[in-house]
Structure 1
């Protein structure tokens, strides 16, 4: 049974205030309501335009009421330079239905991203939410031996200048995975998700919004890196991490 979604839910979705499960419920609902999906996508686009215009590093700092005020102030100028609003809405709805709600788009990979990439994005979103909550303390201590004993997942050797911020075992459709959030000089805030994966060895890259994603699978285990960085740069790092895995 699909969840009921109201305007407050849509506003919170646009402002990035929902957890991964709530976002998924809203996206599922929007898939059945293309007119509402068009309005939401327009709101997101306008919010991002405002954030870029004001050079705000964090989209959550963009006050929605202020955005609406500025939108009303500049709307008369916009109406004279573009398509009619109905045509714009129809175009946005078509893009929504064509691209889907997940937010992934292909990078160097010739095939759609594997399912474990979606699990990695969900784990990253959950970790970001935890780090923003005072009631959820960070867990930066890493016991690689314990994690391997209980999950069967070996952690690569982290570079000396990488600082762990949070380490959690995260449930996914592929089984328990390990989600790590690290501060790095190369990529800034970096997420590393390790989980079991079906199929043979492989690698790929993609984007999820402004986040670059790179993954590499070896011996039935996937390593997924995410950061606001070029996916090709992340792919190089993923290969180096794979080379640092313990051999026994």
Structure 2
């Protein structure tokens, strides 16, 4: 990523500008017009966001937890809490799948502003489970399913993406894979112990970095909730953009 150090914008018109996969960490805005500003920051809870001197992160987190019951459990640290967190996710995603399935057939493969479609999102969540549970925690020799959806940047990070399907699978195929990976997580959590949660594992994308099993599970939970939010947002956009939506 190209970094512009200490850039200063004075009397500039950035209306409609889009910042994608960019960092604005530590950016300072003074006397700015921000009506209609749309910020999507999955890692917002890891820091602060000051608006007129008020840290709005706690308000955003509270509202997201209200909209998505069970999301507040995503940082659970014990087996019982993790099982409850996963059960809440399965319920939330079942509702989302029902909603997507009730829409016109092509809606699940529609992209909004270049984002992943609903089926691609489900494929990515399978990929995330394969990476953080299959590869990191279970240390399976061949953890990845061909229908998984990795990020495109993995192609340039020494990760062999040739194993993944290039043609779009059907929704039924994706749902079968999704059910398998949900069951894999559920079954692991059914017998996990505090001792196992504390065990070290290798970060699947950085072999020299050691993380705990609990950390790996937290990554999966975080991926699930964030992508549910993205998916529902885009389904709403698709629905309202169509006649009668």
Per the TM superposition, whether the score is higher than 0.5 is no
Give the TM-score normalised by structure 2.
Answer: 0.27
Structure richer in strand, relative to its length: 1
Give the TM-score normalised by structure 1.
Answer: 0.27
